Structure 1
Amino acid sequence: MPLRWQEVTSRWKAGRVNELDAQKDGHCDATGSRPTGVLRGGHMVAVETPRIRKAQLAFGLSAWVLLGLAAVSQASLGERTSWAPPAQVATPTQKPWRSARLPRSLRPVNYELELWPWLFREGSSGLFLFHGRSTVTFRCLEATNLVVIYSKMLNYTEPVRVKSGADRSEVPVARVWQETANDYLVLLLRTPLRKGRVYTLQAAYCGELTDELVGLYRVEYTEAGVTKLLAVTMMQPTDARRVFPCFDEPALKATFDLTVIHRPDQSAISNMPIKRVSALWIHGQEWTVTIFERTLKMSTYLLALVVSEFRFIEETYHGVQFKVWGRKEMIEAGEGDYALKVAGRLLEFFANKFDISYPLTKMDLVAVPSFESGGMENWGLIIFREVNLLYDAKEESESSLRALTLVLAHEFTHQWFGNLVTMRWWNDIWLNEGFATYFSYLGNSFVNPDWTVDSFFAGKSLSAAFSSDALAISHPLSPRQQEVYSIEHISQLFDDISYDKGASVLRMVSSFMTEELFLHGLTGYLREFSFRTANYTDLRTHLQQALDNQKMVQLPSNLASILDTWTLQMGYPVVTINTSSGLVTQQHFLVDHLTNVTRTSPYGGICAGDVGERSELDLGEYEQSRTVQGQL
């Protein structure tokens, strides 16, 4: 079990924390370039580096002892090296750690996570670190003697342990190694885990608090001429593994219990309301321990944390507490007032639109000086670039206000499309981003009816979709899962196709289905897959069900034959009508018709016919068929 803060304090009072403990504790190379430990006998063993050692001694006591982030070792390095794996434990021949996707044998249930970001330089080393301890509870779905879990740039400071959830007995570990090519931490067990049983994986570690805008990172800013630091997270798409060892795939949802230690003059905010706050004295210095309520079941990339000296304004709207956070001078200047004014109305608009209530009791909106994207939709804690949340009415134009509202509505839509229901794998990221983009325009128009949807959409998203999808390097909205396996492939899907073409296709479907039927299908989709994941065919099925359950709107064919051609292949057609013969032809439109398209279509080409070839339709026959169906 994690060493609790109370245990740390009691150890200190009992005089059991001393320099000998510091010598025995593990150490961390905060550069992230390599672990400062070696694997001996299946366990990570600490190896000192002079730089980190100097930093710890400059602080006065070992950082690990202060926080309880590494247990006091009872054995010397020499004793640990004698823990050799038994010869009868053979390495599995299938080698699932070579795959870019986790094996399906384990499924997470809960993460108990304790974090301490150091927003100060360690002595003369100039390093910024964060320290962590995690307990992952997981269920075994298939008998296995392997635990494969994501871990990146984390240095383990004590043996990683696996225990049975029933009797807390330890499962012996034969070998541990890091498979860096796929960001895996791999544990080979001496005895297999049993199907249906619950287990825990316990780890203590540290990492660097970088300024790289990923994982848990630091931001430096000035306020009233004073330089300050904050810690903030950006986990999407695959950076939760930089903060704690986890099953970092969107379909592997779980709950989270988060504890954060920070200075008393700082605030810690996360996805959930604060459960308890207490003081902790370490070597005469006061710290604050903030414990948050357990989260809803969600994907790892949605876990969020901000530790800062920010100020906030707040209001409660229909039972939900809204806070807008930012630099003190900006909040006091009223730059958060507009966001707070529209937040409650906007969230209620989407709850009514989707006929599903927002499931949390609070919503924190935080403006950060340095942030990778315009906004990040973490459940209950949305993080923005300052320009996308704060508004200075004296300096900024109405177009800036409209852009801000668009981002706000985009992130609010994600509370349903992305958080409540998440795409099963990243190849369907448009199910998150396409919906958020489309409904952001509706939310924008709701806030200010003068901002009409159609002209704004056509000039922004539709135009971007046409431009990007006319390139030979475009891709389908839903490419095959096999094509999307590396971090690079995943990151490349956060583009105009997923956002703007996705929104354009949804707008088209809403138009020919009617908005009422479209929303009815979406509500069914959201309700069936709440706290779960879905793919494109799940969405299409629910839209088809909405069509099947009424008689007012009749399509010339089923929805799959229409929608699949827009989602499962790239590009769009240019249509030519011969007004003399009535012949209609269509051809894959490319901005440069001489470029070579290498991607094949499941339909033998784009829309119909091979890529670059024309497909034909007699307009008279088409009109006749529509007349028979009562459409003309």
Structure 2
Amino acid sequence: MPKNSHKSKFFASVFIVLVISIITAIITMVIFYQIQTSTMNPTPRPTFPPSTTVPPLATRLPRSIIPERYQVSLKTYFYNQIMEPENVTASNQTMFFTGNSTVYFECVQATSTVHLHIRELTVWGAVVKNINTKETIECSTSYDEELSEFLEIQLSEELKVGENYSLSLKFEGVMSPYLEGFYLSMYNHGGAAHHRDSNTERFIAATQMEPTFARHVFPCLDEPDLKAVFEVTIIHRKDTMALGNNRMKTDFIDEEWKYTIFETTPRMSTYLFAFVVSDFTATESSHDSVTIRTFARPEATAAGHTHYAANITGKILSFYEEYFEIGYSLPKLDQVALPDLDPAGMENWGLVTYQEGEVLYEEGVSSLLLKENIADIIAHELAHQWFGNLVTMKWWNELWLKEGFSTYISNLAVDHVEPSFRAIEMNLIHDFEAAFMADALASSRPLVPPQDQVQTADEIQQMFDVITYKKGALVLRMLSNIVGEIDFKKGVNMYLKDFKYKSADQNDLWRTIQQVLPKNTDIDVAMVMDSWTKQSGFPVITIDTTTGEFYQKRFLYNDSSQSNVWWSVPITSMSNSSVFRPFLLETSAKVREEEFISKNGEWILANINCTGFYRVNYNLENWDFLLTQLETEPQRIPLMNRWQLVDDAFNLARAKLVNVTLALNSTRFLRNETSLLPWKTAMSNLDYFVHMFDRSEVYGPMQAYLRQQVKGLYNFFRNYTDHSRVPEDHSLQHLQMLAVKVACSNGLPECVTMATKMFAEWMNNNTNNIHTNLRSEIYCHAVAAGGKAEWEFAWQRFESSEDTSEKEQLRQALSCTKKIWLLNRYLEYTLNPDKIRLMDVDTTIFLVSRNVVGQALAWNFIRANWEYVSMGNPALLVVGVASRFSTQFELEELQRFASDYELMSATRAAEQSIEQTQVNIQWVNDNKDIVHQWFDREIASRS
């Protein structure tokens, strides 16, 4: 499941009325049709030794029983189409579902009590049987939803160790109004998305079980290591189609209902259980042995919007099968582009789901660069078919074993199938920047926190963060470089083979990699890697090239925070003339190496190609040598290190380890630079300066400096941009967009004129001739420079557009206006799901908060409407509104917010924002005058 999730779902206001009708409907409904199927178990059954310790029942299931198989029959009553839209909230649409389930299990510890997870379900009719003796055991059930999410079944006799039993239950529930468990979604067939019409409005049902929502759908043992096979029947209205984890085994239809019976799944975790009921159509992909289909709205499929995703899916799947030397585990792979989903994608085994905007590519509308995002997310979710699905982490505290792996491996897959995207290079930079920033705070967390710190649903949800995804991927890349790519691949493949259809922890991974290394190796994989996974943070290596001395310490933005931890750090280095031998630094004490002494004015560079997860600082003389090299002959420095030098300089300045002028000096060469990476990292780091100073007198000279620096780059692309064309090279396309963004946002007159002219031509002629790559930037800057007319034109286009990509570009552009009253209107629209889907509420508010004019508005808005807006990604909202906080008053407001509001999964984000605000206050106090003077001097020297 990718981290960059949006939020959606159906109309919460509609839901209240629907529930009233449901209560009436349930009284008269006939419940179930139980279909028992028995299919040969396709995968070996794992063995579990009895637990020596039993987790507290308040959070974890006891390990007295181990599930082997589920039989689940579920009936959904919703209508795919409402013929009378005025009655959609009354008698026609139905959101309840009913079902029955049987879990077959083995007793591994004697017990007279069985516990299952349930949430927001009504259950009854419990029957417990001894499979060996065929006897029924008397039982009673109890459940207090206010106290726990456990259904307790008290038995009249004790279950015997080694005996097999079954527990059958009947249940009913209501489809979620949010994007969790089993939920309803709406789309418009052949019509505008926000104009209801009985001929266009369609409903579909989908599931999202990760991390703890399977218990909302059926009674189960809802923990990742309690794997079982699933035999599933979905009963649905006959004009719809059901998709499940495996192929359809058979189906039959009566007068009103269709009964779809699926083949038995492999042994898997409950969070991977999935089904979709819709009228979608599919595009097939080519593959030697797997049937691959990509489903979407019928009109999107007919228009070819699924073609690109379908085209690359088979190629990516084949790459993984060859790389892992293990075939994909199912005979089919379905992908579904859903109108509503949170997160952006979900790796359900055999039934991968995506937000439709993440996988639909619309020729003539979508940016050419959207193909990169589509390839990335498909590669990520397909990697999970091995990492997560085939081999699963034992508990959520080791989530990185699947998310970090999928982030790392997906870059290799995309680079293989689409080499022109330069996915490894581009994604590495993004991963480093995000992971370094999050992990440079004292309030960061280890990759693998203790289990007792990850127990509740909110604590589990907080694990889906930058540390898990980005740092997890980067430490795996580091390990691959330490042990060698060939041995790393061998060890990973052995890990997958040894633990397929089972659960594992990181110690299992370390052991398998250690086994493939040469016997005489001095690398202790577990010792090296535990230092990176079991403690927070990362080191900065400080090198003095006049003495050859160097040492490590934890890198922290807050210089008042003390830390004595150390890591096993892989040191790679070079000078002007040679590459030095690599070694591991495994102490926090100072070390001296002769080769680190600069000779004859040569520079020394550490962390070659950024293979290690650490920053590097040098004595001032070596910094001067390196920055001079960067300006005069940059190609002598490896590409990734040219990015690293600028990024390290800025962040070392934020941590007060170098003077801020050193960081600013590293941007001087940009005036004549036409390569992507230096510009990308410089602008990413200067974004912090913008947030700290765009409400102060520093911002004027800063904008003037950036106009000077970017003018050459903007002119480099001007012949393309002014004629709404783009270069063929993907890297240059990214750079062209960056040039427009920097130039227009800093008021370069020719850029603003270009954007407003192109947008005005669209408004006046009703023909959009703006190149699809350039639309997001031109829309934004034209709306920013304009007023009511431009904003309302963009809003009307947003409402009427049928194109997913176009709607997303316009939704972002609407947040760019500088008119406070328009931003307030836009924020109010987020409370109306007919205007802004619930899936998009959090990102829309986040976008407004990134606007200097909208930040205070968004801050007030989320506090006034927290209960509603936090149904999305509350952590994103907190991070967004707090990004500019740099005063004592703002700090106190943020602290009050953290103490007074129910923050749920945003708790850690609030803690980190408080710490970052404290750092910002001190940094601004220390550097404001220095930064102001530096920009003034630079402007004066070039005037």
Report the TM-score range of the alignment, normalised by the length of the smaller protein: 0.7 to 0.9
Matched residue, 1:417? 387
Partners in 2 of 1:531 and 1:98 — Cα distance? 26
Matched residue, 2:62? 103
Q: 1:398 to 1:495 in 2, by over 3 A?
A: same
Matched residue, 1:565? 531
Work out the percentage of aligned pairs sharing the same amino acid.
Answer: 37
Partners in 2 of 1:189 and 1:122 — Cα distance? 43
Matched residue, 2:157? 191
Residue correspondence of structure 1 range 440-455 to structure 2 within 5 A: 440-455=410-425
The answer as to 2:574 corresponding to 1:607 is no
For normalisation by structure 2, the TM-score amounts to: 0.54
The answer as to 2:242 corresponding to 1:268 is yes
2:119–2:145 CA contact under 8 A, matched in 1? no
1:97–1:179 CA contact under 8 A, matched in 2? no
What secondary structure, in the 3-state scheme, does the structure 2 residue paired with 1:149 have?
A: strand
1:32–1:208 CA contact under 8 A, matched in 2? no
The answer as to 2:113 corresponding to 1:146 is yes
Q: 1:360 to 1:442 in 2, by over 3 A?
A: same
Partners in 2 of 1:390 and 1:32 — Cα distance? 29
1:178–1:186 CA contact under 8 A, matched in 2? no
Matched residue, 1:333? 303
Partners in 1 of 2:54 and 2:294 — Cα distance? 48
Partners in 2 of 1:96 and 1:359 — Cα distance? 32
Radius of gyration: which is bigger?
Answer: 2
What secondary structure, in the 3-state scheme, does the structure 1 residue paired with 2:109 have?
A: coil
Partners in 2 of 1:548 and 1:180 — Cα distance? 56
Which residue of 354, 369, 373 corresponds with 1:403?
373
Partners in 2 of 1:378 and 1:52 — Cα distance? 29
Q: 1:168 to 1:467 in 2, by over 3 A?
A: same
Which residue of 164, 167, 173 corresponds with 1:201?
167
Partners in 2 of 1:53 and 1:521 — Cα distance? 55
Shift of 1:454: 4.1
2:415–2:424 CA contact under 8 A, matched in 1? no
For normalisation by structure 1, the TM-score amounts to: 0.80
**Alignment root-mean-square deviation, CA:** 2.6
Q: 1:117 to 1:596 in 2, by over 3 A?
A: farther
Which residue of 68, 75, 78 corresponds with 1:119?
78
Q: 1:32 to 1:334 in 2, by over 3 A?
A: closer
Matched residue, 1:86? none
Residue correspondence of structure 1 range 357-368 to structure 2 within 5 A: 357-368=327-338
Q: 1:53 to 1:450 in 2, by over 3 A?
A: closer
Partners in 2 of 1:495 and 1:119 — Cα distance? 35
Q: Deviations over 1:379-418 (max 9, x none)?
A: 1110000012211121112321101100000011001000
Q: Deviations over 1:524-568 (max 9, x none)?
A: 10000000000011111111112135x7xx5x5422232111111
Letter in 2 for 1:150: H
The answer as to 2:127 corresponding to 1:136 is no
2:22–2:95 CA contact under 8 A, matched in 1? no
Matched residue, 1:221? 187
Which residue of 591, 594, 599 corresponds with 1:618?
591
Partners in 2 of 1:117 and 1:596 — Cα distance? 57
Matched residue, 1:239? 213
Matched residue, 2:542? 576
Q: Which runs of 5+ in 2 are unaligned?
A: 1-13, 36-52, 80-87, 192-199, 569-586, 598-943
Shifted more, 402-411 versus 127-136: the winner is: 127-136
2:548–2:596 CA contact under 8 A, matched in 1? no
Matched residue, 1:3? none
Q: Deviations over 1:128-155 (max 9, x none)?
A: 1111110111111111000011011101
Shift of 1:119: 1.3
Count of matched residue positions in the alignment of Structure 1 and Structure 2: 532
Shift of 1:125: 8.8
Matched residue, 1:163? 129
Shifted more, 177-186 versus 295-304: the winner is: 177-186
What secondary structure, in the 3-state scheme, does the structure 1 residue paired with 2:369 have?
A: helix
Larger % of helix: which?
2
Shifted more, 349-358 versus 171-180: the winner is: 171-180
Partners in 2 of 1:516 and 1:96 — Cα distance? 40
Letter in 2 for 1:309: D
Which residue of 448, 465, 484 corresponds with 1:514?
484
Shift of 1:622: 10
Letter in 1 for 2:128: V
Shift of 1:443: 1.1
Letter in 2 for 1:619: R
1:569–1:606 CA contact under 8 A, matched in 2? no
Shift of 1:372: 0.2
Residue correspondence of structure 1 range 509-548 to structure 2 within 5 A: 509-548=479-518
What secondary structure, in the 3-state scheme, does the structure 2 residue paired with 1:64 have?
A: coil
Partners in 2 of 1:407 and 1:52 — Cα distance? 37
Q: 1:223 to 1:174 in 2, by over 3 A?
A: closer
What secondary structure, in the 3-state scheme, does the structure 1 residue paired with 2:144 have?
A: strand
Shifted more, 289-298 versus 112-121: the winner is: 112-121
Shift of 1:377: 0.5
Partners in 2 of 1:360 and 1:95 — Cα distance? 35
Matched residue, 1:428? 398
1:422–1:532 CA contact under 8 A, matched in 2? yes
2:78–2:93 CA contact under 8 A, matched in 1? no
Shift of 1:607: 3.3
Q: Deviations over 1:562-621 (max 9, x none)?
A: 211111111011111122332212221112323578xxxxxx62439xxxxx93232239
Q: Deviations over 1:263-306 (max 9, x none)?
A: 2221100110000111123xxxx211000000000001101100
Partners in 2 of 1:502 and 1:489 — Cα distance? 18
Shift of 1:471: 1.6
Partners in 1 of 2:276 and 2:326 — Cα distance? 28
Q: 1:32 to 1:131 in 2, by over 3 A?
A: farther
2:137–2:157 CA contact under 8 A, matched in 1? yes
What secondary structure, in the 3-state scheme, does the structure 2 residue paired with 1:219 have?
A: strand
The answer as to 2:551 corresponding to 1:585 is yes
Shifted more, 519-528 versus 118-127: the winner is: 118-127
What secondary structure, in the 3-state scheme, does the structure 2 residue paired with 1:210 have?
A: coil
Letter in 2 for 1:482: D
Partners in 1 of 2:447 and 2:404 — Cα distance? 9
The answer as to 2:461 corresponding to 1:495 is no
1:220–1:230 CA contact under 8 A, matched in 2? yes
The answer as to 2:472 corresponding to 1:472 is no
What secondary structure, in the 3-state scheme, does the structure 1 residue paired with 2:147 have?
A: helix
1:583–1:616 CA contact under 8 A, matched in 2? no
Matched residue, 1:177? 143
Partners in 2 of 1:64 and 1:98 — Cα distance? 35
Q: 1:424 to 1:240 in 2, by over 3 A?
A: same
Q: Which runs of 5+ in 1 are unaligned?
A: 1-30, 34-48, 71-93, 598-603, 609-613, 625-632
Partners in 2 of 1:131 and 1:524 — Cα distance? 43
1:478–1:536 CA contact under 8 A, matched in 2? no
1:52–1:125 CA contact under 8 A, matched in 2? no
Q: 1:223 to 1:544 in 2, by over 3 A?
A: same
